[in-house]
Amino acid sequence: MNKPKIGVVGIPGKWSTEVLADRLEALTGFRAVIDMAKVELRLDSNQLMFGDLDLAQLDGIIVKKISEVYAPSTEDRIHVLSHIEKLGVPMFSSAQTIGQLINRLSGTLALQQGGVPMPKTRITEDLEQALQIVHEFGSVILKPLYSTKARGMVMLTAEQPESELRQALAEYRQDNSLYYMQQTVKLDGKDLGMVFLGGEYLCTYARVGNKDSWNTTIHSGGHYELFEPSEELIELGRKAQACFNLSFTTVDIALTDQGPVVFEVSAFGGFKGALEGCQVDAAEAYAQYVLKQVQQKGVLKC
């Protein structure tokens, strides 16, 4: 019996992309790391070509990373993948769901509608209103709608001089369509990454900051540690990820003196935190999960 051909959309050379492709190759004998920057959609023949490979003929596609950084142009790539998905190629995760999470605002609104506790959040286009929010909250994080790993985020506090705040807000607005502002919460130097596969809980790791940065991301010098959550905390993570239809994801959770809050649900999820923090090979688990899902869907194309 032929084994499924499952491609990986990702960033060639990046560890998370390559390790997932490695795990799939070991299971199926097929390997394809797909760079969306080099893909051609042929609408006249319903083909999505990556070199000589027609992605429409694959038995499945895992979207590990759709671009190096999030941007409005990322949504164009999602539309391209969505067309192939509608032709019957299983996508992990669904292109529509990924699109909902690429934009921070749409993802936040889904969590809000799902009754998931989050830090106090305000959105406005007006500088004067943004300035009032800083004073009301005391301390805020400005978050771009398209960003990962805290890139582009700015912390402002009511203690800063008025002129300094106005200048920071004006400069921020030059590169952003609106002010997405969250009240800062006390992290005690760490926050959590709760991993789910196919909607089922896998493990939880902590991102521990290096004390020289206000955020705990590895990009800013943090590191991973194992964390054992309570059943109540797992249920919070489960509730957050259930707002979306993701094959694999990480829910970012902070423990505060007001109770746990969810920062966001990742469109793709990470492997390194699970591996280094939990000693769990999430790439292997994901590859096996997708293989099983594809095999259950019926006749293989190749």
Residue 124 has pLDDT above 80, yes or no: yes
Give this prediction's pTM: 0.89
Check pLDDT > 50 for residue 149: yes
pLDDT (mean) for 93-117: 94
SS3 192: strand
Separation between Cα atoms, residue 244 and residue 239, nearest integer Å: 10
Q: Domains, the chain, ranges and CATH?
A: 6-101+284-296 (3.40.50.20), 121-183 (3.30.1490.20), 187-280 (3.30.470.20)
Q: pLDDT tens, 200-250?
A: 999 999 998 766 544 455 555 578 999 999 999 999 999 999 999 999 999
Give the percent of the chain with pLDDT over 70.
94
Q: How far apart are the C-alpha atoms of 263 and 119, rounded to whole Å?
A: 7
57 φ/ψ angles, rounded to the nearest 5 degrees: -100, 0
- Token pair 């038995």: residue: 59
Cα–Cα distance for residue pair 108/118, rounded to 1 Å: 9
| Amino acid 70: pLDDT | 76
Q: What is the mean pLDDT of the chain?
A: 92
Report residue 88 CA to chain centroid gap: 24
Could you read off the pLDDT of 8-49 as tens digits, one per residue?
A: 999 999 999 999 999 999 999 999 999 999 999 999 999 999
The reported pLDDT for the residue numbered 246 is: 96
pLDDT of residue 210: 65
